[in-house]
Chain A
Amino acid sequence: MSHFIEFRNVSFRYREDQPWVLVNVSFTVQADEWLAIIGHNGSGKSTIAKLMNGLLLPQQGEIFVDGIAVNEESIWDIRKRVGMVFQNPDNQFVGTTVRDDVAFGMENHGLPRQLMLKRVQSSLAAVGMSDYQAHEPHRLSGGQKQRIAIASVLAVAPQLIILDEATAMLDPKGRLEIMETIRQVQETQDLSLITITHDLKEVIKADRVLVMNQGRTWLEGTPREVFAAKDALRDIGLDTPFVTKLAAELTAAGLTIQREPLNHQELLEELWTLHSKM
């Protein structure tokens, strides 16, 4: 199994007189994998997303998507393979209606009209928005707009979807909608997924987590492995889940927790075992 995305010693800065935003970053993403990238604001995580589909090009190092090197010539090809959903629901809605917006990407890639008609239906169905075809964007909630953004990306049939803080501006209900949508999409389609987020509930569900700090890859591992490094995470300004914090305090207070817990259930099991041994 080859890597779907590969960063080889990538460094990037916006202008020559400015500091490096990314320094010598290397990592890979497998096909069908869900990778979460976390880091506080300014750690370089959004820059990574923009490098992956050629919205930015690195000054040093190389990036490969599906075996193709990302450069000026290949970007249009790359963008068919890598879809992106951004933070602000309003500023990525191009069409005057839902239907038009879903078609926008396909139109850009020159897909035949018959295929577009089919894919508008299927991708709206995939995000549960089939009844909203003729809706105008200002009649939709933030969460609904983001679902349309996901549908628009799905319609182009990419192999990777990047959600760049796509839930940051939504209320809890909107976030839930998006998480549910993503879960369904991941289940039904062969896709890699990269979520850039502050939301710990999203991070826990990922297969693997990449922690960025000051433009460098700081830690890489499963959510369990990453959250085990809680003190260090806190030092670089990141939050950890409630159970992680509690487990740490329990350890400090003299209990031996066998396995780093990720949810209430796991921590309760640990406590139960300890309790029955007493």
Chain B
Amino acid sequence: MDITFKDVSYIYQPNTPFEHRALSNLSFHIRSGSFVAVIGHTGSGKSTLLQHLNGLLRPTAGEVDIGSYKISAEGKTKDIKSLREKAGVVFQYPEHQLFEETVEKDIGFGPLNFHVEQEEIKRRTQEAIEAVNLPEELLQRSPFDLSGGQMRRVAIAGVLAMEPEVLVLDEPTAGLDPRGQREIMDMFSALHKEKKLTTVLVTHSMEDALRYADHIIILKDGRKHMEGPPLEVLVRKEELEQVQLDVPEVIQFLSGVEEKLGYSISYHNQDIAQLAKELVAMVKGGR
């Protein structure tokens, strides 16, 4: 589904001493099927933005279009529920939302709320637990008996079981160890391709943004600071520094190479082994 923000502003507690403008005239367009990374510091408005994507918040001004759904200040709430089925949100530390007696029931909770039939729920539960790489035996266990990493996967499976077309991820790897982080991100990346999802990833990690996203939006104080393809956006050092973000490490290194050795090697998502080969060729003077 295409996602469009048209001049969206959001104000918390308007007309009180606590009034706070979280988004200001934000406009952008996300093409159906793309993988977008939204980057910005705490307070930049990214969590407010994310809550517009399934109608948890309505813009104070402007309009959000998600597929055929339109969310604006005046709009009616009637079809919000079906929007929530189509746009699944994985919140930060999603394991905090687990509550059922068994893993199976918890994964099936979303679909049940959207009146999916029992047989279908069963099928989706099976598929979701496989998708997050957990053994089927866990289905009958209590979610509270699992390790932290397993709980995270169960919570993610609960969102996948809704079979959303848009997947919104709010720092899905926070608090995991490096191996867990990589596994979870690779899993989302595979799902994105396989299910032809539109994925919106809110992250702090420039490395993840570079590796997985095909479009980047950087926020600053509720406004759009930068937008574009990763290889165009993530190389603009000065502009990134204005929002206290770093250029991804590999790009930093390559600009170091250019400065020190005078050779420029362009980054085009090559892996470290390939990069090493190019460097060796350069050092040996083969070019």
Contact = CB atoms under 8 A, between A and B. Distances in A.
A240 to B, nearest CB: 9
B253 A264 contact: yes
Contact of B277 (A169, A238, A253): A253
A238 B179 CA distance: 7
B177 A278 contact: no
A237 B272 contact: no
B41 A253 contact: no
B177 A250 contact: no
B187 interface: no
Contacts of A264: 252-253, 256
Contacts of A271: 257, 260-261, 279, 283
Contact of A246 (B174, B244, B275): B275
Contacts of A110: none
Interface in A242-261: 242-243, 245-246, 249-250, 252-255
A168 B93 CA distance: 12
B272 A245 contact: yes
A268 B256 contact: yes
A237 B280 contact: no
A172 B252 CA distance: 17
Interface in B258-281: 260-261, 272-273, 275-277, 279-280
Interface string A12-35: 000000000000000000000000
Interface residues of B, number: 36
Contacts of B272: 242, 245-246, 249
B260 A272 contact: yes
A42 B180 CA distance: 12
Interface in B146-173: 147-149
B16 interface: no
Contacts of B257: 268, 271
A246 B244 CA distance: 26
Interface string A122-166: 000000000000000000011000000000000000000000000
